[in-house]
Every structure is written in C-alpha cells, then in structure tokens.
Amino acid sequence: MCKFLKFPRSTYYKALVSASLNHQKEANRLKRKIRKIWVESKSRYGAPKIHKALTFNGEKISLKRVQRYMTDKEEVNQRKYYDFNAARKAIFEYIESCYNRKGIHGSINYMAPQAPHEAASVET
C-alpha cells in the first residue's frame, strides 16, 4: 500500500508507533487522576463515583474505561481490631470520609453535600 501511495514505509511505521505512544500517555494520565481521586476518598470511592468526579472536572471518559483502569474496584475494609481505641479511630475516619463536605454522594446527584446549599444561596 505504501508503494502504491508513494509513501515511505518508515514514515508509516513511525506514525503508527507515535499514535500508540500518545494513547498510552493519555491512559497513564487518566490512571493517575483515577488513583488520586481514589486515594483522596480514602479508598472508598468505586468506579461510578470516580467516573462522576472525572466528568465533573471536564474529562471525557466512559464508566467502562474507569472500571478497566481501576486495579482495586471496590475495596471492603475487613480488619480485626484487638484494641478498642484503634477500632474507634477507624470508625471515626470512615464516618468522616463518608460525610465530609468534599465527598460526593449519589443521593444528591453526585454533588458534594455543600454544593446544593451554595447553589441555593447564590440564587437568592
């Protein structure tokens, strides 16, 4: 085909490799963003919430792609606590991360709890 189009084969293969490298760079950038959101949520956000957070920030990515890029899909914290204070601290951190002002919630259209209040105060 290259001969027919009078196109150098080396240019064709260079463009082919370059396109795959760009795709890999984009995938790595998205994986870093997914990991950052997952870590900020203290490993509690699953793919749907991470997808909502990414789309809210202007990323165009499908839910399936987020699911593919996530290594730990939905991590359940199953630990044995031998000390009451350690268990109490873990429960406090769990509740704090679920009900903080920054966390997004599915029951309010994947917005942070403070967002509806701020939107209502702007309208008045």
Share of the chain above pLDDT 90, in %: 19
Q: Give the start-to-end residue ranges of the domains of the chain.
A: 1-76, 79-124
29-65 pLDDT, tens per residue?
A: 999 999 999 888 877 788 999 999 999 989 999 999 9
> How sure is the predictor about 73, in pLDDT bands with cuts at 50, 70 and 90?
very low
Burial 74-104 (b: 16+ CB within 10 A, else e): eeeeeeeeeeeeeeeeeeeeeeebeeeeebb
pLDDT averaged over every residue in the chain:
79
pLDDT tens digits for range 87-99: 888 888 777 766 6
Q: Is the pTM of this model over 0.75?
A: no
